[in-house]
Amino acid sequence: VNNKVNLQEQVRKLKEQKNAVILAHYYQEPEIQEVADFIGDSLELAKKAAQTTADIIVFAGVHFMAETAKILNPSKKVLLPDLKAGCSLADSCPPDAFRKLKEKYPDHAVVTYINCSAEIKTLSDIVCTSSNAERIINSIPKEKPIIFAPDKNLGRYLMEKTGRKMLLWDGACIVHEAFSLDKLLEVYKQHPSAMIIAHPESEDHILKVANYVGSTSGMLHYVKSSEHDTFIVATEAGILYQMQKDVPHKTLIPAPAKEDNTCACSECAFMKMNTLQKLYNCLKNEDPEIILEKELMEKAHKPIKKMMELS
Ligand code: CIZ
Ligand code: SF4
């Protein structure tokens, strides 16, 4: 038998036996998305994690996402197929350095993008995702100064959108900073009727030429509801799988990366550390598991709960 189909069958069986739910991010490989109970962006998956009645959550995504699921479900077992599936953006904000910045500006409200470690979340007043960031920032009283971390590109974009000045942490995502403006414009020349759409983690010069800037779910919605039929997509290329399913007759072109990598587009290598085989293994062995200290979970839960209440 075909190994993939066989593995998928076994994953589905184990999932039933163990009352497990599989949450997969849009950036996961199609063969993982196919066995998932829910596919979504980080906000949608956090909401699913908060609602689930399963005993085990298998999180096919990166570490901070699985951590968030654990924080929302301290008594459940949360598994991540590969514990090394990290995030360059989360890593760009180490807790000690961030604590120092926070101490220097004690009067500032701390807003953190969900792409950060649980420890950074414990230092935050409120968490946001790219889908709700504007609303979260607007919820903070006008006179209150803000520290925004860790993504400087999203932070700069939000400053423009909200008119708020914010102190930005100097972090970024390698995947979203990999797009080449020159190459993007070359592709655009060949498809002059295309709409350029971009995730706000992308650099300013990319956002400036984009027709639409939005979160993962925002971009999916835009492409579905737009009357245009060609799109150049500046975000992680994994999104194209769901997007093409939504709009089978439209043309989707991944924005080209600066360096020619294997797909000439930008893929998150951390996300791709999860494989169908590792997913199967972790469900079978119930390992690797996300383990967090109780106190850390309680502290990190507060700013996530505040976000959930506002979104
Ligand atoms: O990790 C990411 O790059 C994103 C955009 C996640 C998400 O789903 O918001
Ligand atoms: Fe982190 Fe960027 Fe990968 Fe998202 S795409 S998980 S922000 S490294």
Confidence of residue 1 (pLDDT cuts 50, 70, 90): low
Backbone torsion region of residue 142, taken as left when φ is above 0, otherwise alpha when ψ lies between -120 and 50, otherwise beta: alpha
Whether residue 202 is predicted with pLDDT greater than 80 in this model: the reply is yes
pLDDT single digits (tens) 123-142 = 999 999 999 999 999 999 99
pLDDT of residue 264: 73
Residues 248 and 304 both lie in one domain: no
Residues 280 and 305 in one domain: no
In a domain, 147, yes or no: yes
pLDDT at 209: 98
Kindly tell me the burial class for residue 91, based on how many C-beta atoms sit within 10 Å of its own C-beta (0-12, 13-18, 19 or more).
middle
Q: Is residue 147's pLDDT more than 90?
A: yes
Instruction: Answer yes or no: do 76 and 105 share one domain.
Output: no
Give the model's pLDDT for residue 265.
83
Atom of ligand 2 at shortest distance to CA of 201?
7
CA of 1 to the centre of ligand 2 (A): 35
**Same-domain status, 58 and 206:** no
Q: Is the pLDDT of residue 88 over 70?
A: yes
* ipTM score of complex: 0.96
Q: Are residues 102 and 139 in the same domain?
A: yes
Residue 253, CA distances (Å) to 19, 26, 226, 229 in order: 39, 17, 16, 11
Which atom of ligand 1 is found nearest the CA of 268?
Answer: 3
Residue 59, domain member (yes or no): yes
DSSP 8-class letter at 80: -
- Residue 74 maps to a domain: yes
Residues 8 and 81 in one domain: yes
From the list 81, 24, 79, 84, the residue with the least C-alpha distance to 55 is 79
- pLDDT higher than threshold 70 for residue 261: no
3-state secondary structure of 233: strand
**Shortest CA distance to 283 belongs to which of 44, 23, 91?**
23
Q: What is the CATH number of the domain that holds 98?
A: 3.40.50.10800
Pocket residues: Cβ below 6 A from ligand 1: 41-42, 115, 129-130, 173, 199, 201, 215-216, 236
Residues 26 and 40 in one domain: yes
Residue 262, in any domain of the structure: no
Q: What integer pLDDT is reported at residue 260 of this predicted model?
A: 64
Number of domains in the chain: 3
- 93 inside domain: yes
**Radius of gyration of the chain, Cα coordinates, nearest whole angstrom:** 19
Q: Which atom of ligand 1 is nearest to the CA of 271?
A: 1
Mean of pLDDT values over 37-49: 95
User: Cα–Cα distance between 230 and 233 in angstroms, integer?
Assistant: 10
Average pLDDT over residues 2-16: 96
Mean pLDDT value across the chain: 96
Cβ of 85 less than 6 Å from ligand 2 = no
What is the domain range of residue 109? 89-173+298-310
pLDDT at 2: 79
Which of 62, 67, 114, 202 to mutate for ligand 2's pocket (most ligand atoms within 8 Å of CB)?
62
Residue 144: inside a domain: yes
115 is annotated as contributing to ligand binding: yes
